[in-house]
Amino acid sequence: MEFTDVVRTRRMVRRYDPDRPVAREVVQRCLDNAVRSPSAGFSQGWDFVVLTAPAERDAFWAATTEPGVATDAWLDGIRNAPVLVLCLSHKDAYLDRYAAPDKGWTDRDEARWPVPYWDVDTGMASLLLLLTATDEGLGSLFFGVPPERHAAVHAAFGIPGSRTVVGVVAMGYAVPGPRSPSLRRHRRTGSEVAHWGRFGVAGEDA
């Protein structure tokens, strides 16, 4: 698929075919592309916990949902995804990298990081997972873990406290479903979001 087609056809998919597993080599290609993402100082402060076995996925949903509470169509659809990838950031990898002699931030002061690049870079790697899934003919979705459930997810999968769950990528073969009502919103164009030279200057005024 041409790159522009991948970008234009990528969607957040919330319904998956539970009877169509994703081949391991396809998942591996998604991960191999994810690590081509840029990272500050080439710190590469990301890890991915890949859940493909039913028991693994059930453990994730048990850790992130309230027992005994009725589910809804949104959750039921995502639960059918045969692959879940937990996308983890590692702040210390960045603090360590920038304390190295070629960077020199030996104080490891987090004030030097007004934007948490460990989370930003993991988000960019997650986008490559989404785009590669589209290129492979899969549907995919990026979603978050409720704040009060992070500790349970860490415990369920032995995730060190030094890692943060930035989000989860679900992957699988999409099945038709209702369009998200959010799509009724206008998609802002490149011209609408671009400010040329200074904020508030449109392209035709530059």
Is 203 within a domain?
A: no
Percent of the chain with pLDDT over 70: 99
Is 16 within a domain?
A: yes
Using CA atoms, how far apart are residues 157 and 46, in angstroms rounded to an integer?
16
Domain range for 88 is: 3-179
Mean pLDDT of 26-53: 98
> Which pLDDT belongs to residue 205?
65
Percent of the chain with pLDDT over 90: 84
Is 199 within a domain?
A: no
Angle in degrees, CA 119, 125, 127, rounded to 5: 105
Is 127 within a domain?
A: yes
Is 193 within a domain?
A: no
Number of structural domains in the chain: 1
Q: Residue 93 is which amino acid?
A: A
Mean pLDDT of 67-88: 90
Give the relative orientation of helices 117-135 and 24-34 as an angle to the nearest 10 degrees.
140
Does residue 182 surpass a pLDDT of 80? no
> Which pLDDT belongs to residue 181?
74
> Which pLDDT belongs to residue 206?
55
Evaluate whether 86 touches 168 at the Cβ level (below 8 Å).
yes
Is 200 within a domain?
A: no
Is 189 within a domain?
A: no
Does residue 151 surpass a pLDDT of 90? yes
Is 11 within a domain?
A: yes
Does residue 128 surpass a pLDDT of 60? yes
Mean pLDDT of 93-114: 97
Query: Predicted confidence band at 73 (pLDDT cuts at 50, 70, 90)?
Result: confident
Evaluate whether 46 touches 90 at the Cβ level (below 8 Å).
yes
Computed over every residue of the chain, the mean pLDDT equals 94
Does residue 124 surpass a pLDDT of 90? yes
Query: Predicted confidence band at 147 (pLDDT cuts at 50, 70, 90)?
Result: very high
Does residue 177 surpass a pLDDT of 80? no
